C-alpha cells in the first residue's frame, strides 16, 4: 500500500521534479569534486604564461644588447659545429642560449610545446664547465625529467604545485657536461598515449601541419626540435614515446636498452612495473647529435651518481666503423598493415643500403601478436590498471587517452565477458581486454618468464642469420589530432622492441607523395577492425609529411644502432625541417 502510494507520487509532476533534483545534485557533486582539478589547470596555465613572458623578455633583452648577432646562421648550425664554435670561443654560451630561447618562444606560439622556462638556465651559464662535451649547448627536457624547483606534472592535477627537490641524474650529468637545460616540454596526460595533450597545458600540434599530432609521449620534444626551437632534447620511451614523435616531426631519436642511461629522478605515474621497461634517450635533428649526447652522458659522472647503471662508456670504434653490415629487414609485421609511404620508405632504404655494399636479409621476429597482446599489454597492466587509475581521482580525462580509462575501470569479470563476446568480431580488441585483467603474483612471474623466453628466442633467430642490425617500418605519417588513442594497435612496430628491450632508433628518409596518398584510399588493414579503420582515416591529407624507418640492434649495442642510423641518414637525405 505504502509502495503504491509512493510510486503514484513519483510518477506525477512531483516525481519529475524529484528526478530533476537528483540529476542536478549529481551534476553539482561531479562539478564540486573536480574543483581542485580546475584550480590546478588554471594555476598551471598562469605559470606557463608567466614563464613564456619571461622567455620573451630574456630573448628580447639579449637581441637589443647584441644587434649584430646572426641568429639565423646560429640556428642553422648542426650541433657538432655549434659545440665546436662554443668551445673555440667563436660563439658565446649566452648567444646560443638566448637565440634558442627566442626561437623556442616563437615556435611555441603556433604549436604549444613548452610547459615552462627553466629560468635558472641564465645563472647556469656562468657555472657551465668549459671542458664538458656539451659546453654551452641549450637542451630541452621532456616534462617528466625532474628539475629542482619545477613541477613534473605529467598533465595530472595531483602533481601540480609539487616542485622537485633535486635534479634527476641525467639533468645533473648534462650540467656537469656543460649543457644548459632551458625548457620543459609538453606530454600527453599520464604519458600513456602517443598523442600530446593534457588538461593542464592543452594540445601540442605538429610543426609540419597543425591538424596532425606531433606524436607522444615525448611530443613536446618532437615538436620543439622539429620546429627548430631546440638543438637537442631528452625523452623517454616505453612503447614508442621517443620514436613516434621523432618520426611524426621529421627528426632522429634513439631508445636505448632500458638501463643504459640512468632513470633515477624520472617522474612516472606507475612505479615498480618492470616487465616492459622504460628507456630514457636523446632526440635531435641528426644522428651525429644523438651520438654526441650519448657520448656525453655515458661518463664517470653518471656511473658515480647512479651505480645501478652498467659502467659502459661510449664505444667509439663501433660507431666510427665502416665495415659492411649484415642487415635483417621486414616490410610488414603482419599485424599493422604499413601505409604505402611506410612500405616505400623501407624498400627504398633497403635498395640504397644494398647499393652501398651492405647485405640485406629477410627477417621477422616470431610470434609478434603474442608479444603485443599478451606480453606487452599484460606486463604494462598486470594489476588491471589499478595503480595507473589512482592518478586520475578527481581529475579530468584528456580525449587523447581514448577509451583507456573507461576500459581500465571495468571490473575484471566485465573485461573477460566483453573479451569473450568480441573475440569472433574483434579478436585484437578481445585479446587486449583479456590482458588488462589483474593477475596474481604467481601469474606475473610466469609472464615475466615468458618475456625472457621470448627475448631469447628472438636473439636465437637473429644469431642464426648472423645479423648485425635490423631495418623495420616505422609508423607514419603523423596521425590526425586525437586519433592515436583510437588506433592502439599501430604501436606494434615500436612496442615490440620495448618488450624485447632492444635499442632502436628512427631516421626520417622520405616524405609522403601524392601516389602514396592515392594508394591509401585502398588501405583496409589486416583485420579491418576499429583500429585499422581509424588508422586509415587518420593518415589522410599527409602529402609532404615526413616518414621514417626504424633501426634496431641487440641489447647494449647502442653504438652499432647509431652507426647503422648514420649510414641510413647519409644514404637517404630528405628535407629535415618543416617549411
Positions marked active-site: 142, 217, 241
User: CB–CB of 233/283 below 8 Å?
Assistant: yes
Instruction: For residue 230, give every residue at least 6 positions away whose Cβ sits within 8 Å of its Cβ, in sequence order, or none.
Output: 100, 104, 138, 139, 140, 182, 183, 221, 224
Distances (CA, A) of 85 to 77, 88, 97: 10, 5, 13
From start to end of 363-501, where are the E strands?
469-473
| Helical (H) or strand (E) element with 102 | helix 93-111
Phi, psi of 552 (to 5 degrees): -130, 145
What is the full DSSP assignment across 243-308? HHHHHHTT-EEEE--TTTS--TTB--S--S--SS--EEEEEESSHHHHHHHHHHHSSHHHHHH-TT
Q: DSSP letter at 390?
A: G
Phi-psi region at 384: left, alpha or beta (left = phi > 0; alpha = psi -120 to 50): left
Q: How far is CA 238 from CA 35, 243, 263, in A?
A: 32, 10, 12
Q: How far apart are CA 155 and CA 376, in angstroms?
A: 24
**Other residues' Cβ atoms within 10 Å of the Cβ of residue 36:** 15
Q: Which residues contact 212 (CB under 8 A, 6 or more apart)?
A: 205, 206, 248, 477, 478, 479, 480, 481, 542, 545
**Can you tell me the distance from the alpha carbon of 200 to that of 42, in angstroms, rounded to the nearest whole number?**
8
DSSP, collapsed to helix, strand or coil, labels residue 22 as helix
Query: Comparing C-alpha atoms, which of 359, 278, 260, 356 is closest to residue 315?
Result: 260
Using the structure block, give the residue that is written with the C-alpha cell 622520405: 510
Amino acid at each position: 500500500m505504502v509502495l503504491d502510494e509512493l510510486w503514484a507520487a513519483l510518477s506525477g509532476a512531483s516525481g519529475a521534479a524529484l528526478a530533476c533534483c537528483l540529476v542536478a545534485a549529481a551534476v553539482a557533486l561531479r562539478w564540486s569534486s573536480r574543483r581542485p582539478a580546475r584550480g590546478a589547470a588554471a594555476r598551471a596555465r598562469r605559470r606557463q604564461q608567466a614563464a613564456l613572458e619571461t622567455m620573451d623578455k630574456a630573448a628580447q633583452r639579449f637581441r637589443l644588447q647584441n644587434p649584430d648577432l646572426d641568429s639565423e646562421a646560429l640556428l642553422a648550425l648542426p650541433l657538432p659545429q655549434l659545440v665546436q664554435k662554443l668551445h673555440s670561443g667563436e660563439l658565446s654560451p649566452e648567444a646560443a642560449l638566448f637565440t634558442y630561447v627566442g626561437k623556442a618562444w616563437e615556435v611555441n606560439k603556433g604549436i604549444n610545446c613548452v610547459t615552462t622556462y627553466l629560468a635558472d638556465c641564465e645563472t647556469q651559464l656562468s657555472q657551465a664547465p668549459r671542458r664538458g662535451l656539451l659546453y654551452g649547448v641549450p637542451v630541452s627536457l621532456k616534462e617528466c625529467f625532474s628539475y629542482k624547483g619545477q613541477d613534473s606534472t605529467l598533465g595530472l592535477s595531483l602533481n601540480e604545485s609539487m616542485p622537485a627537490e633535486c635534479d634527476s641524474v641525467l639533468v645533473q650529468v648534462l650540467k656537469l657536461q656543460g649543457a644548459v637545460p632551458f625548457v620543459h616540454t609538453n606530454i600527453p596526460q599520464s604519458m600513456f598515449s602517443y598523442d600530446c595533450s593534457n588538461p593542464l597545458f592543452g594540445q601540442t600540434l605538429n610543426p609540419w601541419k597543425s591538424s596532425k599530432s606531433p606524436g607522444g609521449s615525448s611530443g613536446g620534444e618532437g615538436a620543439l626540435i622539429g620546429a627548430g626551437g631546440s638543438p637537442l632534447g631528452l625523452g623517454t620511451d616505453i612503447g614508442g614515446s621517443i620514436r613516434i614523435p621523432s618520426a611524426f616531426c621529421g627528426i632522429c631519436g634513439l631508445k636505448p636498452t632500458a638501463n643504459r642511461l640512468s632513470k633515477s629522478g624520472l617522474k612516472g605515474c606507475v612505479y615498480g612495473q618492470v616487465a616492459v621497461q622504460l628507456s630514457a634517450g636523446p632526440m635531435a635533428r641528426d644522428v651525429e647529435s644523438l651520438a654526441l649526447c650519448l657520448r656525453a652522458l655515458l661518463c664517470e659522472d653518471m656511473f658515480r651518481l647512479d651505480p645501478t647503471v652498467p659502467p659502459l662508456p661510449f664505444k667509439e670504434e663501433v660507431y666510427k666503423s665502416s665495415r659492411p653490415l649484415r642487415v635483417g629487414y621486414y616490410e610488414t609485421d603482419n599485424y599493422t598493415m604499413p601505409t604505402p609511404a611506410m612500405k616505400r620508405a623501407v624498400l627504398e632504404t633497403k635498395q640504397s643500403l644494398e647499393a652501398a655494399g651492405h647485405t640485406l636479409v629477410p627477417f621477422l621476429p616470431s610470434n609478434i601478436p603474442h608479444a603485443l597482446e599478451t606480453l606487452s599489454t599484460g606486463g604494462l597492466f598486470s594489476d588491471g590498471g589499478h595503480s595507473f587509475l589512482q592518478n586520475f581521482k578527481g581529475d579530468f580525462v584528456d580525449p587523447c587517452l581514448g577509451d583507456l580509462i573507461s576500459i581500465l575501470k571495468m571490473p575484471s569479470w566485465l573485461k573477460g565477458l566483453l573479451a569473450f563476446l568480441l573475440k569472433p568480431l574483434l579478436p585484437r580488441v578481445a585479446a587486449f581486454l583479456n590482458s588488462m585483467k589483474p593477475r596474481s603474483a604467481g601469474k606475473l612471474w610466469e609472464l615475466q618468464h615468458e618475456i625472457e623466453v621470448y627475448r631469447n628466442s628472438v636473439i636465437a633467430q637473429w644469431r642464426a642469420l648472423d645479423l648485425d642490425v635490423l631495418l623495420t617500418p616505422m609508423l607514419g605519417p603523423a596521425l590526425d589530432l586525437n586519433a592515436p588513442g583510437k588506433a592502439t594497435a599501430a604501436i606494434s612496430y615500436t612496442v615490440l622492441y620495448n618488450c624485447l628491450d632492444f635499442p632502436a632508433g628512427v631516421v626520417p628518409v622520405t616524405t609522403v607523395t601524392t601516389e602514396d596518398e592515392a594508394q591509401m584510399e585502398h588501405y583496409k588493414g589486416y583485420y579491418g577492425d576499429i583500429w585499422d579503420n581509424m588508422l586509415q582515416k587518420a593518415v589522410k591529407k599527409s602529402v609532404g609529411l615526413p616518414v621514417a624507418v626504424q633501426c634496431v640492434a641487440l641489447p647494449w649495442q647502442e653504438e652499432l644502432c647509431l652507426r647503422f642510423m648514420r649510414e641510413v641518414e647519409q644514404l637517404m637525405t630528405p628535407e629535415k625541417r618543416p617549411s
